[in-house]
Amino acid sequence: MESARESAVISGPLAGVRVIDMATVVMGPYAAQILGDLGADVIKIESPNDTVRVGALHRTPGMTPLNLNVNRNKRSVTLNLKDEGEHAKALELIGTADILITNMRIDALRRLGMDYDSLAAANPRLVYAHAQGFRSDSDRARLAAYDETVQAASGLLDLAQRAGDVGAPVVLPSIFGDKVAALTIVYAALAALVHQRATGRGQHIEVPMVDTLLAFNLVEHLQGRTFEPPMGPTGFPLSMNKGHRARPTKDGLAMVIPYSPQNFRDLFAAAGRPDLAEDPRVNGEFIDSARDGEDLAALLETVTPRLTTAQWAEVCAKHSIPFGPVLRLDEAAEDPYVQGGHLLDVAEHPSEGAYRVVGIPLDFSATPASVRRHAPLPGQHTDEVLGELARGEVRR
């Protein structure tokens, strides 16, 4: 990834596509940022009071770490949608768009004349991606949704409780629901864009967070409930194994995950415990994780402290045993793998100075994605964008 810089040069597979980001917090803005990384011209219609602009860590008010990470490759336009003249400008701007992303409540959108039916009448090519907590046809449609409540409603906390055997499970320490939904918005919008290019018609896309995360969780966890009548409970056995955790090494923590009987025997021999390789549980055709998983995990933790993390890395590479050191995020920028992928390069922001840019985790051989614009100040591009609008300069 090249360093972030202000540039009018458009590159990437979505060059020529215009996206209007009329979303707040993370889900919608993150989706729009990804489309911007892929080359789209993303215009953010925003309020300066967006949650991502609020936080203790900043050099300039509103320029928080979260804002820098979800609003790059965008132009910021501040418009008061309750003002008649500025509302008209917003509608005119949306009329130039291929894709609109919003997570505003449907009642508010209707009052503003910014629901799909109203906007599609003026711009039938518009791909309208509406993200919300729950399906619009459900009795929960008007409920507020936050990542923690979505993790609960999608069954993720139930899985955490059962796997950890705890009474009160902790939510996954990541805004998981928002980001999974954001990725879903991206692929749904791109699919609709293909249809738009073929037919000249847009469409309405609804992305409910709870439905999205529930479907995501059930890919492997539906298990015995796949069948009717059920053949067993939900929960993918390997993931639900309580011994499925990082192991202590001589100098740290690492994921050392022997899967096959041979993996276990090689690991025990490397730890200087060849006697354990004679255990009948690691000498069959396969490891019975449901029956022996937890006991074998406990046995593993008696031998992994015998070697350092680096020594285990060599052993596991030699014997094809799944292995991964636990990355400390505070040390990520110094990690050779992270540096090699340009995943946390330093760039110079016009107002914020030096900062770390979260890299683009993919590579296109013909149409490379790039970070072309730093996250903007609130309303930084209002005059520029409205000037283009007045002159009829619409990039497609």
Q: Residues with catalytic annotation?
A: 178
Residue 73, helix vs strand vs coil: coil
Alpha carbons 45 and 53: distance in angstroms, whole number? 14
Least Cα distance to 211 among 132, 116, 100 occurs for 132
Cβ(373)–Cβ(43) under 8 Å?
A: no
Angle, alpha carbons 335-341-346 (nearest 5°): 75
Alpha carbons 192 and 204: distance in angstroms, whole number? 9
Residue 235, helix vs strand vs coil: coil
- Both tokens assigned to 194: 């293909």
Alpha carbons 9 and 15: distance in angstroms, whole number? 10
Supply φ then ψ for residue 217, to 5 degrees. Answer: -65, -35
Cβ(171)–Cβ(151) under 8 Å?
A: yes
